Amino acid sequence: PGADQDIFFNAFAISQFQIYDHESLQHALKADEHSPAMARVNLPLSTFQPFLDLYNIKPGEQMFCELDKRPKFLWSFDKKNET
């Protein structure tokens, strides 16, 4: 499962990859209704426990979002809770 997840997360990041210079980023923030690519990747993944577990991301690291700041999901990704 780890290898499949690694491929998935890497493909997700690559699919959103963009390079901005400062001026282009400032323009995009004002004119584009979409969030910058980095935010579309890093923010959701920093709240997704399977991602944090796979890459052993711990509290205090840049990609770790504290539990009380994570969005609440309507469903569980925890296989132990499946009926």
C-alpha–C-alpha distance, residues 83 and 71, integer Å = 23
Among residues 69, 17, 21, 74, the alpha carbon closest in space to that of 47 is found at 69
60: left (phi over 0), alpha (psi -120 to 50) or beta: left
* Whole-model pTM over 0.85: no
CA gap 35, 39 in Å, rounded: 6
Residues 30-79: pLDDT tens digits?
A: 998 988 888 888 989 999 999 999 999 999 999 999 989 988 766 666 66
